Each structure stands twice: as structure tokens, then as C-alpha cells.
Structure 1
Amino acid sequence: MESMKVADFMNRRPAVFTATMPIEVAVERLLQTRQRGGPVVDDQRRVIGFLSEQDCLATMLRDTYHKEMSANVGDCMFKGEVLSVFAGDSITDIAQRMDAKKPKVYPVLDDDNRQLVGVISRTDILGAIDCYFLDSYRRR
């Protein structure tokens, strides 16, 4: 199972955001992709933050209450250190790090230049482990 890598199971075309993107556009993108959140990147595709459904919900409720629609992703995204993984990381290692308090979606960075190359979710990890076990059962 150690041979199973993040690169083999990650979403290579995730919803990605920029800090200047209007929150309404970001929400529509999340809804279309059914992704729970996604990385916010700069012009070099380096991760500078993370936008979650929770961030969007809080912002939209506030703006609706005040009858405003002017927030950008940069106004409500998480700006601290974003927990990320590398494409070459083991699925097993990532699965062990994904406990209840951790993100449900991790940005995946290129091993060399640390640019965003995808995302991996708990669902992707679960699917990878399921594939491993199904394959193991077939060999018996």
C-alpha cells in the first residue's frame, strides 16, 4: 500500500481561486464541482490561502444581512499556513494525517517547485484504500 501515491488518486482539475475573485463566482465554482473547498493561488500557482464552504457561507450570510455583495475571496479565505501534501507522498501517510480536526481537502504540490498540481480529498483517499483492498481480495 506504500506504493500508492497521491499523484495516482488526486483531482488534477480542482476548483481553484484567486484572492481577487468575487465570492459569488467562487461559490458557483464550488457548487459546480461539488468540492468542499479549494486552494487560493497567486499568479505562479503557489498556494496563498484556502477557501472553504464554511468561509463562503459565513461571508454570504453576512453580506445578505447587510444587503451587500462585494466580498472577494481574499476577504474571507484562510490566510495562515495551508496544510498541503506532495504528489509523491504515500496515500497511507496522508490517510493517517487526516483525522477529524484536519482539512477535508488538501492542496497537492509539485515535489520540485511547490506549485499547485491538484487537490486530494478524504473521499479520494478512501477510494484509493478501497481499490487496494478490492485488488487484494481478487488475488486470493
Structure 2
Amino acid sequence: MRTWQVGDVMTREVETVLAETPYREVVDVLLRRGVSAVPVIDDFRRVLGVVSEADLLHRIERAGEPALRRVFESRRRVARAKSAALLAGDLMTAPAVTTNPEAPLSAAARLMDREQVKRLPVLDDLGRLIGIVSRADLLRVHLRSDAEIREDVVQEVLRRVLAVQDGLVTVEVRHGDVTLAGRLDRRSAVDLAGRLAGQVSGVVRVTNAIAYDADDTVVDLGQVMPVA
């Protein structure tokens, strides 16, 4: 069962700069495009790093009042170096945290959270930049309509994976909340239907109200053969 991947939501037209791009031009790119960061690439579109607003603001902070400069002087060496940097290659944060177009959205979200970044450059198999995915892009999966979500649950989960006969299970979707009802022969099939439905792109929550005839998840100790 296929779920949405980074390639489904990423922005393909990515504004970039080179390592030799001057400070003022980097600022112009961010303001003109309304973005908070840009990848720094080489001539082969390989990502060298990322320049963000935070990297650029070190220079603004250094231009403050003398008292503020003394506070700034106590910060780490990297921040001091960036405050004097004139080119993107010296301003950027490197190495960049990246992902690939086949990565699940959940994996991209966990990576952003772990690395405390707001966006991920997306690379192809040769390490070349082909897109960028932001936190806002990841949320687009929840703009799917209830009808689209229901269609995936019915077609992919019930019919294709579980081979459930039509009419045995009903599926209702409201604002991304999925409710499953009906009856199946085995509890394991009921549990699997609930888990798989929860993996469908755009699903917020699953209420599994499917009944079952037999609980095949319980081992009958009376039928277990003793080991010789």
C-alpha cells in the first residue's frame, strides 16, 4: 500500500545560490522569493549547505549598540565568523540535512524535529538537488478530501490487501477521521484493517468498530504440543 512521499509534496522549483554569492544577493533572494532559507549548490547541483535568515542575522546583531556587541562576543566562534562573512559559502550551515523523494512524510517530519530544521533539500540518487520540502509542505497531506481518503481505505486496504468482500465493512470519513464498522471472521484481520487504515495519507484518526467471529490472536495453551 503506497502512502504519500516527500516527492508528492515537495517544491520542485528551488531558488538556490552558489558558494560565491555575496551576502547582499543572498538577502535579496530571500526577500524577493519570500523564503527563509536557500540551499547553496555547486556546479553539479550538489548541496553544499543551507543559508537561512538566522545565518544572516549574525551581521545585524553585530551592528548593534556596544553593549549588545559585548553580549555577542561571548557567543560561540561559529557565530562570530558568520557575522563577518561576505559570501554564501562562509555564511551557510553545513553539511545540510537532506532527504530523498521516496522518503515517507513521517520520516521527513521526524528528521526535521530531530535536527531542528524547518526545511529539507531533496536529492536524487546522484546527490543532486531536485526539490525542497518544508514543514508546511508536509501538512498538505491533510488537505486531501474525505472522499479521496475513503477511496484509498476501500480500494487499497479492504480490497487489495485484505481481500474483504464488498458490504462486510463500511467506511465513513469525516474531516480525516475514519470509522470502520461491520464484521469479519478473524480478529487479526480486524486489527490489521485498523492499522493499515491509519497509514493512509491524510488520515487523522481511526475508530475501529469492526466486530469479529473468532479471536485468532489468543493462543490455546491446551493445544500446544509439549517439547520432547
TM range (shorter): 0.7 to 0.9
> What TM-score do the two structures reach when normalised by structure 1?
0.81
Unaligned runs of 5+ in 1: none
Q: How many residues align?
A: 134
* CA shift in 2, pair 1:36/1:137, >3 Å: farther
4+ aligned runs moved over 6 Å, structure 1: none
1: distance between equivalents of 2:3 and 2:56? 37
The aligned counterpart of 2:47 is: 47
Out of 92, 95, 102, the residue aligned to residue 77 of structure 1 is 92
**Higher RCO, Cα 8 Å, sep 6+:** 1
Determine if contact 2:10/2:137 at 8 Å carries over to the other structure.
Answer: yes
The aligned counterpart of 1:120 is: 133
The aligned counterpart of 1:131 is: 143
Identity score, percent = 31
Q: Which has the larger radius of gyration?
A: 2
* CA shift in 2, pair 1:70/1:122, >3 Å: closer
* CA shift in 2, pair 1:137/1:95, >3 Å: farther
Two-structure CA RMSD over aligned residues (Å): 2.6
CA drift of 1:47 comes to 0.7
Determine if contact 1:7/1:87 at 8 Å carries over to the other structure.
Answer: yes
User: Which amino acid is 1:77 matched to?
Assistant: M
Instruction: Provide the secondary structure at the position in 1 that maps to 2:44.
Output: coil
2: distance between equivalents of 1:18 and 1:59? 19
Deviation per CA, 1:88-125, whole angstroms, max 9, x where unpaired?
11112212333275210110001x21100011000101
Instruction: Provide the secondary structure at the position in 2 that maps to 1:98.
Output: helix
Unaligned runs of 5+ in 2: 66-83, 152-171, 174-228
> What TM-score do the two structures reach when normalised by structure 2?
0.52
